[in-house]
Amino acid sequence: MNNRFAFVGGKQGLWQVTRIDNLIGTGLEMVERLDVVNGEADETEAAWILRGLTSNVRYATRVEVNALKQIQPTLNRPEALCAALIPIKKTAQWWDLSQDERREIFEETSHHTEIGMDYLPAVARKLHHCRDIGEPFDFLTWFEYAPEHTKAFEDLLDRLRVTREWDYVEREVDIRLMRLV
Amino acid sequence: MNNRFAFVGGKQGLWQVTRIDNLIGTGLEMVERLDVVNGEADETEAAWILRGLTSNVRYATRVEVNALKQIQPTLNRPEALCAALIPIKKTAQWWDLSQDERREIFEETSHHTEIGMDYLPAVARKLHHCRDIGEPFDFLTWFEYAPEHTKAFEDLLDRLRVTREWDYVEREVDIRLMRLV
CA distance A123 to chain B (A): 22
Q: What is the pLDDT of residues B65-88, one digit of tens each?
A: 999 999 999 999 999 999 999 999
- Which residues sit opposite A20 in a β-bridge? A175
Select the residue of B62, B99, B134 nearest A59 (Cβ to Cβ).
B99
DSSP B57: -
Peptide bond into A121 cis (omega under 30): yes
Q: Which residue type occupies A148?
A: E
CA-based nearest residue to A129, from B18, B81, B55: B55
Q: What is the predicted ipTM?
A: 0.94
Would you say residue A80 has pLDDT above 90? yes
CA A44 to chain CA centroid, Å, is 24
- Segment among A34-43, A57-66, B17-26, B169-178 with least mean pLDDT: A34-43
Contact between B58 and B103 under an 8 Å Cβ cutoff? The reply is: no
CA distance B114 to chain A (A): 16
Cβ burial, residue B151 (10 Å; 0-12/13-18/19+):
exposed
Q: What pLDDT is attached to residue B42?
A: 80
b/e map of A77-86 (b: 16 or more CB within 10 Å)? eeebbbbbbb
Q: What pLDDT is attached to residue B77?
A: 97
CA distance A32 to chain B (A): 30
Would you say residue A15 has pLDDT above 90? yes
Mean per-residue pLDDT, A53-71: 97
- Write down the H helix ranges in chain A: 62-71, 92-96, 99-103, 112-117, 150-161
DSSP A74: P
Contacts of A62 in chain B (CB under 8 A): 97-98, 100-101
Averaged pLDDT score across all residues of chain A = 97
Contacts of B62 in chain A (CB under 8 A): 97-98, 100-101
* Domain parsing of chain B, residue ranges: 52-179
Q: What pLDDT is attached to residue A1?
A: 76
CATH architecture of B52-179: 2-Layer Sandwich (3.30)
CA distance B123 to B113: 13
Contacts of B96 in chain A (CB under 8 A): 56
Q: What is the pLDDT of residues B29-47, one digit of tens each?
A: 999 999 999 999 987 889 9
Select the residue of A55, A61, A98 nearest B132 (Cβ to Cβ).
A55
CA-based nearest residue to B106, from B96, B118, B94, B117: B94
Dihedral (C-alpha) A98, A101, A103, A104: value to the nearest 10 degrees? 170
